[in-house]
């Protein structure tokens, strides 16, 4: 779709509005509480929207999607701490590097179909985690710490936290726009065909190996950038936090909850899931319950409502499909 055509689509403006809201509402009143909450929500949205490219469009479940997030974080923090790179350059390097490695890797594991691919992604995540835990230049299992000086170029910790937040919101907006742009392109059509029936798609002339590798690589870029920003903010990265399979799982729940294959769905699912999670986070009895609730949600969706929230909305109000894609 041509850029001008985008400007006429309500979905496009919805994305822009949401992004601006995320950016300016906390900024308006210097509301640090809200900013911290929305920051986590933004990260879930980024992970879900990019994961949707694999699950929703191409129909490949990436259980280990968090590996991009963690590796992006590692590259960025390492470049900043050992080589003194500025944040934005390091984050971009992380995103580009991880995306490239994903392309190479993808050419290998994307030969696998369906469940085998899904299992291999778990293997990739755990393997990378075990490797990084033994990789001394990256701090091994103790990880890398950033000194407080790292925040000086951004104007000191207080201001740096705002800058990082706004950058993350930008990445979130880009994730949603990317998702939308792909869906409405020829590339996206090919992906959806692969998702429906890969053999038929191949017979009809869709270059399946190339498309699969490209989408795997594309789904890595923005989560890697988000990881870079997030771990820079945390001033600390270690293998268990960077490659947390639980986080990876939550992204899957978010995508399925909101509606895989739609543009708005994953973002909605991520936002709702994050609200639920943060309510449970500090509750004494229920802090472990988040896994139970996430699991029940996922089970119910998979068995009864595979289209998720957006799927239900589209069926109930077919005309909404034009506005909320």
Residues 262-281 that bind another protein (CB under 8 A): 281
Minimum distance between the CB of residue 147 and another protein, rounded to whole angstroms?
4
Binding residue count for another protein, defined by CB under 8 A: 71
- Which residues are 144's β-sheet partners? 237
Site for another protein in 155-214 (CB under 8 A): 157-158, 161
The first and second tokens of residue 181, run together, are 């742009």
What is the rounded distance in angstroms from the CA atom of residue 192 to the CA atom of residue 182? 10
Residues 6+ apart with CB under 8 A from 276: 290, 293
Which 11-40 residues touch another protein, going by CB under 8 A? 32-33, 36, 40
Asked if residues 174 and 270 have their Cβ atoms less than 8 Å apart, the reply is no
Residue 16 CB, nearest approach to another protein (Å): 29
Candidates 9-17, 169-177, 284-292, 314-322; binding stretch for another protein (CB under 8 A): 284-292
Q: Quick one: 6 or 236, whose CB is closer to another protein? A: 236
- Which x/- pattern, by CB under 8 A, does the window 41-60 give for another protein? ------------------x-
CB of residue 274 vs another protein: minimum separation in angstroms? 12
Q: Dig out the tokens for 319 from the structure.
A: 């005309």
Asked if 46 contacts 223 with a C-beta cutoff of 8 angstroms, the reply is: yes
Exactly one of 191, 252, 254, 313 binds another protein (CB under 8 A); that residue is: 252
Residue nearer to another protein on the CB measure, 181 or 298: 298
What whole-number distance in Å separates Cα of residue 288 and Cα of residue 285? 8
237: left (phi over 0), alpha (psi -120 to 50) or beta: beta
- Cα dihedral: 53, 56, 60, 66 (round 10): 50
6 token code pair: 């985008």
* Residue 295 binds to another protein (criterion: CB under 8 A): yes
**Applying CB under 8 A, which of residues 84, 153, 209, 306 lies at the interface with another protein?**
306
Nearer to another protein, 63 or 78 (CB): 63
What residues from 217 to 246 belong to the interface with another protein (CB under 8 A)? 234-236, 238, 240-241, 244-245
Question: Between residues 6 and 145, which has the closer beta carbon with respect to another protein?
Answer: 145
Q: With contacts defined by CB under 8 A, name the span among 46-54, 174-182, 185-193, 282-290 that binds another protein.
A: 282-290
Between 88 and 126, name the residue whose CB sits nearer to another protein.
126
* 88 to 38, 174, 225, 231: CA distances (angstroms): 21, 16, 9, 13
Q: Which of residues 66-105 bind another protein (CB under 8 A)?
A: none
Q: What residues between 103 and 162 interact with another protein by CB under 8 A?
A: 108-109, 111-112, 114-116, 118-120, 122-124, 126-127, 130-131, 133-134, 140-143, 145-149, 151, 157-158, 161
Residue 227 token pair: 């990881």
User: Where is 114: in which H helix or E strand?
Assistant: helix 114-134
CA distances from 134 to 45, 180, 254, 314 (A): 31, 39, 32, 48
Which residues, other chains included, contact 149 with Cβ-Cβ below 8 Å and sequence gap of 6+? Answer: none
CB of 74 to another protein, least distance (A): 15
């Amino acid at each position: 779709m041509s850029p001008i055509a985008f400007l006429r689509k309500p979905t496009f403006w919805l994305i822009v509005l949401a992004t601006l809201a995320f950016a300016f509402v906390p900024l308006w009143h210097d509301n640090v509480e809200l900013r911290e909450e929305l920051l986590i929500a933004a990260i879930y949205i980024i992970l879900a929207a990019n994961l949707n490219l694999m699950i929703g469009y191409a129909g490949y479940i990436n259980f280990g999607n968090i590996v991009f997030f963690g590796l992006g974080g590692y590259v960025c923090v390492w470049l900043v701490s050992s080589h003194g790179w500025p944040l934005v350059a390091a984050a971009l390097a992380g995103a580009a590097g991880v995306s490239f490695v994903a392309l190479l890797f993808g050419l290998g594991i994307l030969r696998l179909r369906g469940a085998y691919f899904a299992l291999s992604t778990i293997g990739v995540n755990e393997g990378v985690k075990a490797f990084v835990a033994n990789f001394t230049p990256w701090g091994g299992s103790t990880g890398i710490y950033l000194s407080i000086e790292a925040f000086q170029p951004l104007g000191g910790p207080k201001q740096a936290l705002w800058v990082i937040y706004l950058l993350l919101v930008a990445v979130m907006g880009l994730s949603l726009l990317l998702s939308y742009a792909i869906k409405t392109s020829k590339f996206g059509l090919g992906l959806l065909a692969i998702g429906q029936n890969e053999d038929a798609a191949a017979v009809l002339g869709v270059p399946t190996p190339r498309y699969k590798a490209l989408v795997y690589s594309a789904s890595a870029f923005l989560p890697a950038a988000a990881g870079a920003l997030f771990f820079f903010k945390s001033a600390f990265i270690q293998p268990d936090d960077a490659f947390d399979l639980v986080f990876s799982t939550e992204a899957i729940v978010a995508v399925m909850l909101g509606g895989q294959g739609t543009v708005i769905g994953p973002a909605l699912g991520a936002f709702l899931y994050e609200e639920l999670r943060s309510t449970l986070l500090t509750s004494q009895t229920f802090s472990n319950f988040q896994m139970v609730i996430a699991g029940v949600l996922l089970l119910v969706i998979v068995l009864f409502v595979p289209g998720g929230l957006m799927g239900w909305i589209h069926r109930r109000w077919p005309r909404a499909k034009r506005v909320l894609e």
